[in-house]
Structure formats: C-alpha cells, structure tokens
Amino acid sequence: MTWEPEIEELRRRQAMAREMGGPDKVRRQHDGGKLTVRERIERLLDPGTFHEVGELAGRATYGEDGELTSFVPANFVMGRGRIDGRPVVVGGDDFTVRGGAADAAIRGKQTMSEQMAHELRIPLVRLVDGTGGGGSVRSLDADRRTYVPFNPGWEHVVENLATVPVVALALGSVAGLGAARVVSSHYSVMVRDTSQVFVAGPPVVARLGEEVDKEGLGGSHIHARNGVVDDVVDTEDEAFARARRVLSYLPSSVHDVPPRGSVADDPERRDDWLVGAIPRDRRKVYKARPIIESLVDQGSFTEIGRMWGRSAITGLARLDGWPVAVLASDPYFYGSGITVDAAEKITRFVDLADTFHLPVVHLVDQPGFVIGTEHETAGTIRAGARALAAIYQAQVPWCSVITRKVFGVGGAAHQNASRLSYRYAWPSGEWGSLPMEGGIEAAFKADLDAAEDRDALLAEITARMDQVRSPFKTAESFLVEEIIDPRDTRPLLVEFVHLAAPLRHPGRTARAMRP
C-alpha cells in the first residue's frame, strides 16, 4: 500500500484552489481590466520561482459520506519567490473570492506573510485588491455575532517598517485595513483608473450625505498629490516593474547594506553643459532633473513621489554602481521653498535612507520655509522642524552640493551641521539668514524711508551687498569648504560613495520608520 490516493486528493484540492472564485468571477476580473492574483504573482516574480504556502486553506463542504463536495479557497495567496534572483515574500488579495474580504483563512495567511518576511529578513511585496479586514456586514449575519475590532498581525506590519523593504501595490478598490496595508509600506503604487484607496467606500460615505463614485473618492489623481501613495502607473505590469526596480536599490533587510550594482557609466564623466545649468539671473528657474540625471549613473535615477511636495525631489539612483538616496530642490514650485507637504516628503525620505543605509546626496537650492498666512495656517514651521530633526538624526553618510540658494532655518536643514561637512558649492551659490532681495529693504528701512531718492539708494546698497554675497568671500573665511566647477561634481560624488561604502553599518536604526 502507498499514499497514492492521498496524493491524488492533494492534487485535486490544489486544482480547486487554483480555480480561485471560478470562471465567472475570473472573467469579471478580466473584464474590469485587472489580472487575477495568480497572474499578478507570475508576472511580478522571476519565472518559475513561486513557492506557495497555504494553498489548501479555504472553506470546504463535505457530503454525508465525508467526501469533499465543494471548496472555496482563501482569498489571500502568499508564498516565497525571487525577484532578480533575490528571495522575497509576496502576498496578494484574491478579489474573485468575496471581493478580497476576509474569510476563515485570510487572517492567518496575511499574518504569516508579514512574519515570514520579518523572520527570514527578506523583502515583502503586497498585492492589495480588497479590504483585507473583517469582511462585509454579510459575514456578521452569517456568524450571528459581532466583535471588537482588531488588526490581526499588525505588530508584524509595524515591525517590518523597521526591518525589511515593503512594497505595496494598490491594484483595485482598496478600503479599510487594505488601505492601511498600502500606506504602511516603504514604497506604494496605484494603477490609474483601475485602483482606488479609501478608508470607506462610496456606499458608506453616502450615509453621511455625500454622493461620490469610487474614483472621485479615492482615485490616483487624489492620492498621488496628497502623498498617500508614492507613484501612479498606467498598467499593472508597470506597477510590477516599479516594484522590482525600487527593490533593486535596497538591501534584503536592515541587517545588510545595499549591494553595489553593475558599473556601466564613466565615473569621471564631466558634462560641459553643467557650467551653465544655473541661470545667472536669480529670478529665473531651471530644470533640476536633468542635473540629477547628469550627475548619477546614466538611466539609474528613479524618482519617488513626484506629484506631491513638489518643491522637493526625492529618488533613488546609483553612483559608480553604488545605490544612493537623492534629495534635490525644484525651483518651479515655490522657488523650491519648503512647504508642509515638502517637509513631510523630506522627513519620510530621509527616514527611508537611514533605515536602509543609503548614503544621501543632497543638491541644495533652498530659500527656506515658504512664508505667508496660508503657510503659517498650515503649520509649516512644525513640519519643517520635523524634517530638520530627521536630517540631524540620520546616521548615513551625507554629501551636500549647494547649487544655488541656502537661506534661513530651512536652508540650514541641508545637512547636520554638527557632523563633518562633506559639502561642495557651485559658483552660483548664495546664502545667508535672508535673501538679499528682501533683507535689504528690512535692514535699511529707516535709511530708505529718509532718502531723497529711495531707488538710487536701494541700487547703491544692492550693488554693495552683491560684493558681500560672493561665495568666494565665504570661502576665504572657510565657512564653505570647497567651491567647485559644476563639471567636476560627478567625479567628486563618485569619490564620496566609495568613501561612504565602508561607513555603512548593518543593523536597525534607533528610530523605526513610520508610515
């Protein structure tokens, strides 16, 4: 006698699980422009590497003879696989089974996916397409009871923010606990027009007297601009590609350091156009992203959160193959001044860099915190002070390149002034407690008010101050360490990352990252 009958039963149950919610529900998923959870996992991972855990979990019905008559699989599929050869954990909602809401097995499987990533010290990818919480009111009717809410396994979700890279892809209508799973990550993506994220959906909101559809309530056009998610793509395949790319810059866990990638660009490359990248006219803006692209390895810059906090640019890149975190200013928005959104974006990004031991390259053009009634009302100074604290608390190697303005408390946030000032300035740099353009009128108000020819005196004082603000004057007093030819910036940054590489220390940071 062998166990062949049981093996046949195993194969039968596995086949039933792989049917998910059945042909009709799968068809509806496809008709809605969405892949099934198993198709998603197949496209995300390296081919043939998925090892499923808990495939047989679900709700079974048995006949009087004890034989299995029907089986509804758990609507959460999880297991291990590989991305670019590296082990990862992936867990995804199956919307074809009760719309991704909880059933008898989802809690244990979701919790195990989080715990597995943490204890094996490997990245986690969440494919979120449903609520993933306690299910609908229909489940309460079936159970004939209610319960005090709790979030099963949430301790692992919180712990993973401090230990392993977590990527969350919102791939459908995501509500409640599912929405919390999306934002409790290091990098999150929505698919335009097919995914929405909200605390509660339109039927629940309608009870408050607000009639709105899913897209109007929680579409990507809302959440890409308020920072709920980091990025928006047009297709699910693009979302998978973004997940793979972002993970390529990060270590498998905080217990490692980011590995060096391939070297495909000249470390000594000097782009001549950089010498004129910053306009001589201080009132003119310029495009910051081409400067970033010129300095890092060609094609390696991956921006994160482009549509929110837009006066700050954040992203991951490589320098001579080494992964780095890039922070820069965008003068097209508020003259690159720090708003509440920009401050929150900077805080979260610096925490990400510090958590995963990424050296920071900061291209600085910072006139300070944005001023005025609107921004005082918004609480800019508190959000800005939090960003300043994040920068001072970060332990990773840090290099600042001053390309233009550095003014006030906000400008002072370009690095931790108590550490070694690994810093360069371009000849276009200017700095101080206040920009000259506004500071002259404030400092010489009495003289200007008393002058017979106010404009002439203002021009005279401005000309005098133009001599004072020369960056060479600052360098003479060693208050800025090096003024460089902009074309030399890339070779110097390459030197920085080679010096920084042995200074990166594996292990947890003192401050765990929060959503």
Give the tokens for residue 183.
Answer: 């934002």
pLDDT the model gives residue 113: 96
Q: What confidence tier does 43 reach under pLDDT thresholds 50, 70, 90?
A: very high
**Beta strand pairing call for 76-83 and 51-53:** antiparallel
pLDDT at residue 276, rounded to an integer: 96
Check the CA dihedral 415-418-420-424 and report its sign: positive
Q: Give residue 330's pLDDT.
A: 97
Global pTM reads 0.91
pLDDT at 501 over 60: yes
Report the greatest alpha carbon distance in the chain: 113
Q: What is the pLDDT of residues 317-340, one digit of tens each?
A: 999 999 999 999 999 999 999 999
Q: How confident is the model at residue 481 (pLDDT cuts 50, 70, 90)?
A: very high
Strand positions, DSSP E, 30-176: 51-53, 58-62, 68-73, 76-83, 86-93, 124-128, 166-170, 173-175
pLDDT of the residue at 492: 98
Who wins on pLDDT, 441 or 109?
109
Does domain 4-248 sit in CATH 3.90.226.10?
yes
Structure tokens belonging to residue 362: 């900061």
pLDDT tens, residue by residue, 450-462: 888 888 888 887 7
Paired sense of beta strands 124-128 and 86-93, if any: parallel
Q: Using H for helix, E for strand and C for coil, what is the string for 198-256?
A: ECCCHHHHHCCCCCCCHHHHHEHHHHHHHCCCCEEECCHHHHHHHHHHHHHCCCCCCCC
d(CA 52, CA 55) in angstroms, rounded, equals: 6
Which has more pLDDT, 200 or 80?
80
Tokens (6 digits) for 229: 């998610």
Cα separation, 363 vs 274, in Å, equals: 13
CB atoms within 10 A of CB 491: 17
Q: Residue 373: helix, strand or coil by DSSP?
A: helix
Query: Which CATH homologous superfamily contains domain 272-503?
Result: 2-enoyl-CoA Hydratase; Chain A, domain 1 (3.90.226.10)
Supply the pLDDT for residue 105: 56
CA angle 296, 432, 449 (to 5 degrees): 140
Quick count: other Cβ atoms within 10 Å of Cβ 450?
Answer: 9
Q: What element of type H or E holds 457?
A: helix 454-468
pLDDT at 372: 94
Domains 4-248 and 272-503 share a fold: yes
Sole residue written with tokens 């306009």: 279
Beta carbons within 8 Å of 306's beta carbon, 6+ residues apart: 231, 313
Which residue has better confidence, 307 or 441? 307
| Confidence band for 396, pLDDT divided at 50, 70 and 90 | very high
pLDDT one-digit tens code per residue, 257-273 = 999 999 999 999 999 99
Q: How far apart are CA 349 and CA 425, in angstroms?
A: 23
pLDDT, mean of residues 247-265? 96
Domain boundary assignment for the chain: 4-248, 272-503
Q: Between 176 and 512, whose confidence is greater?
A: 176
